[in-house]
Structure 1
Amino acid sequence: MRFIRGTFVDTPAAGKLRIRLDHVLVVDGRGFISHVLPFSDPTIQSALALAPASAAPDSHSRALTTLPAHTFLLPTFADLHIHAPQYLYAGTGLDAPLMQWLDRYAYAAEERVDADPALAERLYARLARRLLEAGTGAAVAFGTIGVQANLLLAQAFQAAGIRAFVGKLSMDNSPRPTYGEASTAESLASLTSFLDGMDALAAPLATHERLVHPILTPRFVPVCSDELLRGIADIAHARGVKVQSHMCESRDQMAWVEGSRGKRDEVVFDEAGLLTEHTVQAHVTSFPPRLVELVKARGVTVAHCPLSNAYFSDAAFPLREAIDAGVKVGLGSDIAGGYALPLQVQMRQAVVVARLREGARREAAFEAGEEAGDGKGLRVDWVEALYLATRGGKGALGLGGVFEPGMEFDAQQITLAEDGAGVGQLDLFDLPDAPGLEWWTETVERWWCNGDDRNRTAVWVQGRQVL
C-alpha cells in the first residue's frame, strides 16, 4: 500500500473542476486506488498509524509521501489519435492537401519504418519517452502495415510503462503500389498474425501489468474494400478487440469516398458493422445533426484533433454541440498531421477553435441584424478541455481518468513553484504557505495556459512511477 498526501485535481464531469486539498490517496499493490479521503478522516488516521513516513513516492511499502506545498497530482492525459511512425517527420509538409500529404510523407515514412526494424526501435523508444514527458500516459496509436514493426511499437510502449492500443494498419486498396496489401485475404491474415503476436506478448504478464492491447485499424474508407471492412468487424466481434479509423475528415477525402462508393464515410462504416461503443473515429469535422445522432446512438467516441484539423480539414469540429449532445469525445494529437505531441497544445487549441467559432457565429448574427444572445454559445472553456484530455479520453478506453476508488492510479505530478519561485514559464508572485481553494483554481488555470514539461516532475501508470 502507498499513501500520498497533498492536493488532487481532476474533472469528474465536463465543466466540473474538482480540487481536493489535504487529502490522502491510497494505492494498492496492483496499482489501483483504494481510498481518497481527507487527511483528518478516521479511516486514514487509523491506516497511517501503521505506516512509516517516507520521502520515496514510488515506494511499495506502507509509507506516507507528502507532496510539496505548491504541487498537485492530475490524471495522465489520453491521446486518442496518434500515428506513431509519423513521428519520424512531425512538422513537415503541412501546406499540402490531405491526400497529397499522405502520399508524399505519411506512406513513405511508414514504408521506411516497416523496412528498418532498428529505426523502428529507436523511433518508438523516443516517442514513448516524449509522450511521458508530456504527461500522456495512454495512447491510441496507428502503426504501419507490417506485423514486426507494430510488435516493436507495442514492446516499446510496454517497456516505457505507457498504456496503449496499437493498431496494425489494414489497407487492401492502397493507391501506392509499394505500400499496401495485395488482397483482402492477405490483409486479414496479416491482421490475425498481429493479434496472435500481441497475445503472445501479453501472456507472461499479470492482468494489471498488461498495459498494451491491439486495436483493429482500417486506415480509412478510401484504402479499404467493403469486404475488408466486414472482415475486420467479424474479427472485432469474435476477439473482443476495439476499432479505430478516420471518418469525415476533409472534403477531398469525403469526395473520394462518395465518388467511388456512392455514399458517405459513416454509411460505409455502419453497413460494415464498425460503428459501435468500442470504436474510436478521428476527426468527424463534417458532423451534421443526423450524424451526431448516429454516433451517439452507436456509442462511438470521436477523437477531436484541433491542430491537424486546422491544416487538413475544411471545417472545424463542432465541439460545443458534440459535448452538449452527449457524444463521447476525447482529444488526439494526430501526429504528424498535428505537429505538436503534447496534449496540452491540443487542449489550448480546442478552446481557441471553439472561441473562433463563437466569434464567427456572433458576427454572422450581427450582420444579419439578429441578437447573438448571451451565455457560452459555441465556446468551450479550459476546464472542459481538461476533461476531454483526461476523463473524456480515458472513458473511451474503459479507464477511469479520475481519482476514485477502484480506478487505476495513473497520475502526473505538477510542480507549480519551488524555492519561493514559479517553475518554468510560471512567474508566480504570491505563494501562500497553505494555499486555499481560490489560489489553487486560479493557479491551475495559469499552469494550463502557460505550463510546460518543466512543471511535470513525475508520472505514474498503474501505480508505477515511469518518469
Structure 2
Amino acid sequence: MNHDDILFGILGNAFHCPVLGEFEFLENVLITINTDGEIDSLLKPDEYAVSDIMEVLERENRLVRLKEKQYLIPGLIDLHCHAPQWPQMGKGLDLPLYNWLANYTFPLEAKYQDLEFAKRVYDDLVQSTLSSGTTSAVYFSSIHLEPTRVLADTCLEKGQRAFVGKVCMDDVEQCPDYYRQSVEKSLYETEAFHQYVSTMSGNHGLISSVVTPRFIPSCTEGLLKELGQFATNNNCYVQTHCSESDWAREYSQQKYGETDISVYEKTGLLGRKTILAHSIFLTEQDVIKIQDYGASIAHCPLSNMYFANAAMETRELLNRGLHCGLGSDVAASVTPSMLRSCFDAVTHSRVREEGTSTKLAAGERGEAKTRISFLEAFWMATTGGGKALDKNIGVFRRGFSFDAVLVDANIQDCDLKIWQALDSASDILEKIISTTNRQNIIKVWVQGREVVCKQ
C-alpha cells in the first residue's frame, strides 16, 4: 500500500471533546497526518494491526511514539487576546475598566508606533502563547497599520493560526487625543491591512484579517457603519467587545437608547463571522439576534470577574446552542493559558451557582443549575472555538487540520501528577485541564507543522 501522502504519524493516547459535555479517550490511537497538514486517519489498534502503515512509517522515520504519561489534546483556541497589552499583564487589575484603559492600556498601545518595540513584544507574545498550547488566536492589535502587519508576520513566521485586526477608534469624547484616528484613516488602514494579509507570501489561509471596532464607547456611529459595510463587502471576520461592564452597557443605552447588539446589527457588524467578547448583559432579544445571525461569543471568565460587575450566563447560552468559546483577554487576565481559562470558566460558574452571601440560606444564595463542567469548558476551548471560527479545528477528526498539543506528565517538579492505579481516563483529562503548566507542554503542531519542541 502506498503511504507517500502521509507526512507522519503519532501513536499514543489522546483526548478530545467532539460533543459538548462528553469526551473521548483515544487509547493507543494512530493518527496519520497528510502533506496538507490534515488528519488523514485515526486508527485503533485492531485497525493498524492489519495494515502495513506502522511498518512503513517506522522504517522511514515518520512515526512519533508517545511515552507513558504523555497525552495528545487538540490545539487550544483563544477567541479574544489583546496583543499590545502583553507588557501590561498583571498590572492595574484593581481599577474599574474605564480607569484601567485610560491609565494603562491606551498609553501602552500608543507606544506601538515604534516598530522595534512592536517586534520585540509580538515575538515574545506569539512564542509564549504557542508554548502555552494556543494554536489559534484572535488578536486585537493597536490602531497602527505597520505594527499590525508586524503581528501578522510574526504569527505566520512562527506558524500560529491567527485572526488579526487593526483596532479602530475615533470618538473624540472617549478616545485620548494621542490615540485615535479619523473615520477615513481607520477605514483606509483596515482596507490596507486586509489587502496585505490576502497577499502574504506563504500564508495559505493561516492568517486572516479581522475588522476591529474596539467597542461602542470608542467609535462613532459613522465609523461603525463604514466598517460594517467593508466587512460585508469583503466577507471579513469582525471582532469587538459587547456589554462588557455596567459602564459600557449604560453608555450604549444613554447614547443610542439601544443595546450593543442592536447597534452592531444596524451598522452591519453582526454576522456569522462576528466574535463578541464578553457579552455579559444580554437581553432576550439580544440572544435571539446573536443566534439568528450565527455570531459567536468569546467568554473571558477571569477578566469578567474583575471588570464585568456580573457573571456571564454561560450555562444558558450553551443550553440554547449559541456559538461560544473562550478567550484569555490578555491583559485583563494574568496568563495566556487557555487551560487556565477553562478552569476559570468552571470556577466562575460555580461561584454563580452557589452564591457568596453568608447572610442567606444555602438554597437562596446563588442561581441554581448554572454551573458548567470541566468537559464543557474544555469543549469551549477546543471544539467550540473551532465552531465559532467556522474552521475545521479543535477536534481530532479525518479531514480536520492537525492542530495539537503534547502534554507530558513526566516533567520533574510539576503539578500534573498521574497515578495510574488511581486515575481513570476522566480523572486524567480533568487533571490536564486543572494542573497543566507551560512546562508540561513539550510539543505543539499547527496544520501539521511542529511549531514548539522543548525536548
Q: Which residue of 1 aligns with 2:3?
A: none
Shift of 1:12: 0.2
Q: Considering only aligned residues, what root-mean-square deviation do their CA atoms show, in Å? A: 2.3
How many aligned residue pairs are there?
Answer: 443
Contact 1:6/1:66, CA 8 A, preserved across alignment: yes
Note the alpha carbon deviations across 1:109-142, whole angstroms, 9 max, x for none.
11001x2100000000000111011111110000
User: Whole-Å Cα distance in 2 between the matches of residues 457 and 22 of structure 1?
Assistant: 19
User: Whole-Å Cα distance in 1 between the matches of residues 80 and 227 of structure 2?
Assistant: 19
Q: Which residue of 1 aligns with 2:99?
A: 100
User: Whole-Å Cα distance in 2 between the matches of residues 370 and 268 of structure 1?
Assistant: 35
Partner-residue secondary structure (3-state), 1:138: strand
User: Whole-Å Cα distance in 2 between the matches of residues 460 and 368 of structure 1?
Assistant: 46
The one of 134, 146, 159 equivalent to 1:136 is 134
The one of 415, 422, 444 equivalent to 1:459 is 444
The one of 238, 241, 244 equivalent to 1:246 is 241
TM-score (norm 2): 0.92
Q: Which residue of 1 aligns with 2:431?
A: 446
Q: For residues 39 and 229 of structure 1, do their structure 2 counterparts lie closer, same or farther at Cα, with a shift above 3 Å needed?
A: same
Q: Give the partner amino acid of 1:100.
A: N
Partner-residue secondary structure (3-state), 1:335: coil
Q: Which residue of 2 aligns with 1:289?
A: 284
User: Whole-Å Cα distance in 2 between the matches of residues 221 and 401 of structure 1?
Assistant: 31
Q: Give the partner amino acid of 1:382.
A: F
Partner-residue secondary structure (3-state), 1:231: helix
Give matches, 1:23-42, under 5 Å: 23-41=29-47
Q: Which residue of 2 aligns with 1:47?
A: 53
Contact 2:71/2:408, CA 8 A, preserved across alignment: yes
Q: Give the partner amino acid of 2:313.
A: P
The one of 414, 423, 432 equivalent to 1:424 is 414
Q: Which residue of 1 aligns with 2:320?
A: 325
Shift of 1:42: 5.4
Note the alpha carbon deviations across 1:372-431, whole angstroms, 9 max, x for none.
97xxx111111111111111112222222100000000000011237xxx7611344x44
Q: Which residue of 2 aligns with 1:15?
A: 21
Q: Which residue of 2 aligns with 1:121?
A: 119
Which deviates more, 186-195 or 305-314? Answer: 186-195
User: Whole-Å Cα distance in 2 between the matches of residues 110 and 168 of structure 1?
Assistant: 12
User: Whole-Å Cα distance in 1 between the matches of residues 115 and 364 of structure 2?
Assistant: 62
Note the alpha carbon deviations across 1:185-214, whole angstroms, 9 max, x for none.
22211211221222232xx3263xx31111
User: Whole-Å Cα distance in 1 between the matches of residues 65 and 51 of structure 2?
Assistant: 14
User: Whole-Å Cα distance in 1 between the matches of residues 332 and 424 of structure 2?
Assistant: 37
Q: For residues 328 and 423 of structure 1, do their structure 2 counterparts lie closer, same or farther at Cα, with a shift above 3 Å needed?
A: farther
User: Whole-Å Cα distance in 1 between the matches of residues 404 and 234 of structure 2?
Assistant: 30
User: Whole-Å Cα distance in 1 between the matches of residues 95 and 367 of structure 2?
Assistant: 36
User: Whole-Å Cα distance in 2 between the matches of residues 136 and 251 of structure 1?
Assistant: 30
The one of 370, 373, 378 equivalent to 1:386 is 378
User: Whole-Å Cα distance in 1 between the matches of residues 378 and 299 of structure 2?
Assistant: 13
Is 1:205 the counterpart of 2:231? The answer is: no
Partner-residue secondary structure (3-state), 1:41: helix
TM-score (norm 1): 0.90
Shift of 1:43: 8.3
Which deviates more, 339-348 or 239-248? Answer: 339-348
User: Whole-Å Cα distance in 2 between the matches of residues 249 and 199 of structure 1?
Assistant: 31
Shift of 1:106: 1.0
Question: Identity rate of aligned residues, in percent?
Answer: 30
Contact 1:5/1:39, CA 8 A, preserved across alignment: no
Note the alpha carbon deviations across 1:208-249, whole angstroms, 9 max, x for none.
xx3111100011111212222121122112212100000111
Q: Which consecutive residues of structure 1, in runs of 5 or more, have no partner in the other structure? A: 57-62
User: Whole-Å Cα distance in 1 between the matches of residues 66 and 82 of structure 2?
Assistant: 35
User: Whole-Å Cα distance in 1 between the matches of residues 49 and 256 of structure 2?
Assistant: 62
User: Whole-Å Cα distance in 1 between the matches of residues 330 and 404 of structure 2?
Assistant: 23
The one of 383, 387, 395 equivalent to 1:395 is 387
User: Whole-Å Cα distance in 2 between the matches of residues 299 and 172 of structure 1?
Assistant: 28
Q: Which consecutive residues of structure 2, in runs of 5 or more, have no partner in the other structure? A: 1-5
Is 1:408 the counterpart of 2:401? The answer is: yes
User: Whole-Å Cα distance in 1 between the matches of residues 365 and 435 of structure 2?
Assistant: 37
Partner-residue secondary structure (3-state), 2:90: coil
Q: For residues 367 and 388 of structure 1, do their structure 2 counterparts lie closer, same or farther at Cα, with a shift above 3 Å needed?
A: closer
Partner-residue secondary structure (3-state), 1:154: helix
Shift of 1:4: 1.2
Contact 1:365/1:372, CA 8 A, preserved across alignment: no
Give matches, 1:234-273, under 5 Å: 234-273=229-268
User: Whole-Å Cα distance in 1 between the matches of residues 43 and 360 of structure 2?
Assistant: 49
Shift of 1:101: 1.2
Q: Which residue of 2 aligns with 1:59?
A: none
The one of 273, 281, 295 equivalent to 1:278 is 273
User: Whole-Å Cα distance in 2 between the matches of residues 35 and 413 of structure 1?
Assistant: 18
